[in-house]
Amino acid sequence: MLTEKTKTKGCGGNLQERQKKYRKFLWYALAGTLLGLFVLIYGTLKENIPDELFVYADEETDWETFFDDPLISYDETVEVSQNDSYQIRCSWLGVLPLKTIKVNTVEKQEVLAGGSPVGIYMETKGVLVIDSGEITDREGIRRTPAEHIIQPGDYICEIDGEVLTGKKQLMQLVKENQGEPMEMQVIRHQETIQLEMTPVQTADGSYKLGIWVRDNIQGIGTLTFVEPDGTFGALGHGISDVDTGERLEISDGDLYHADILSIQKGTAGTPGELRGVINYREENRIGTISGNSQYGIRGQLDPGKYTESMEKIPLGLKQEIQTGAAAIRCDIGDGIREYACEILEIDANARDTNKCFVLRITDSDLLSKTGGIVQGMSGSPVIQNGKLIGAVTHVFVNDPTKGYGIFIENMMG
């Protein structure tokens, strides 16, 4: 039999053991919290440091302004020479390596600042498939000839060895085929593949593939800059198909003069729009479009067109950008003007290269007419301290006074 004294001692021993385990748990929890905090700070610091930077040749760069964080240490300032590059090693408090930045040297450059609305006409590379569906054949049976074969976003480039250039040609080839299997060369996600489809004869005797296609796209945007050789950049983001959401692969295109006729004012939840007209006559064509990348459209202006009223302006690199006052340059129907804005945030290492900084429109005149940033203003140059630093790319749907911008160095490539 246990005595009362023995029982008391046993209970005290259990309490001490529980307290010991609890203290150990607290130490583990504290250690885990500190480790998690360390990982979070380390990851945040590393993420905020860009992988690559551009600096001006033959100019000493002081990195203290750029690395304005007491936790980040970096190599000493290095003077760079023309057509050279070097690396900057960044560390946490001079001990733990964070990232090595590749630094490229570039010549100081001036471009012509844009701001004018332009009409865009682009032809796709081949014929773009935007959807597929059912067809009722001549016996009344519902068929899906494209199912599990072709996908939205595919580009049909050749049929039976013949290069495909448009929808009308596709329809003619299907008509001439008379229901026989058709060999297709298709581009899917940048890869070329071979497919076979067989048209279905419908009740009226015609043949169909059961696909919806597109071979061109039109729209209005804003010209951002023109280089001395006539090369232009516009929009600040790629043009995607409205149905597939994929960025369009283009064969070629043309740039036209556009006129803004009216404005649909933007409100919270409903983006506004510049409504304009494009006259596709040859005399209104101002250049050719050669590329549609994630950074916008590129091409060549025709000599002597559209540059008379444009002003030269130096480029500003991302390490020169500061939060605070800036301006956007655009035309909302009454000529090109500069409107006041404010840069709120800068992400020097943005994962989305079209969303490098956040800006807010502060100009009362622009706010009264458009509500802020509206569709059609993509590509509007952003100017700060007399330099072209980027372009407007997106609007905040729930706050049209705010939007994103892209660094000009991204657009310049």
- Residue pLDDT, tens place only, 322-331: 999 999 999 9
363 catalytic residue (yes or no): yes
- Please give the pLDDT value at position 2: 45
- Please give the pLDDT value at position 13: 64
**41-45, 335-339, 342-346: which has the minimum mean pLDDT?**
41-45
The larger pLDDT score, comparing residue 243 to residue 64, is at 243
pTM of the predicted protein model: 0.81
Catalytic residue among 237, 241, 331, 380: 237
pLDDT in tens, 120-178: 999 998 899 999 999 998 989 999 999 999 999 999 999 999 999 899 999 999 999 88
- pLDDT over threshold 90, residue 207: yes
Instruction: Give strand pairing partners of 40.
Output: none
Chain mean pLDDT for the chain: 87
- Please give the pLDDT value at position 259: 92
Catalytic residue among 137, 243, 363, 399: 363
When pLDDT is cut at 50, 70 and 90, the band that residue 50 belongs to is confident
The stretch 255-283 carries a mean pLDDT of: 92
Q: Which of 1, 199, 115 is nearest to 382 (CA)?
A: 115
Catalytic residue among 116, 132, 378, 380: 378
When pLDDT is cut at 50, 70 and 90, the band that residue 1 belongs to is very low
- Please give the pLDDT value at position 11: 57
The stretch 78-107 carries a mean pLDDT of: 75
Percent of the chain residues topping a pLDDT of 70: 91
352 catalytic residue (yes or no): no
- Please give the pLDDT value at position 396: 96
- pLDDT over threshold 80, residue 78: no
CA dihedral for 109, 113, 117, 118, sign (positive or negative): negative
The larger pLDDT score, comparing residue 10 to residue 227, is at 227
- Please give the pLDDT value at position 79: 53
**9-18, 89-98, 150-159: which has the minimum mean pLDDT?**
9-18
Cα separation, 122 vs 364, in Å, equals 36
- pLDDT over threshold 50, residue 379: yes
Contact indicator for 90, 98 with CB cutoff of 8 Å: yes
The stretch 383-412 carries a mean pLDDT of: 96
- Please give the pLDDT value at position 180: 92
The stretch 370-394 carries a mean pLDDT of: 96
- Please give the pLDDT value at position 312: 92
189 catalytic residue (yes or no): no
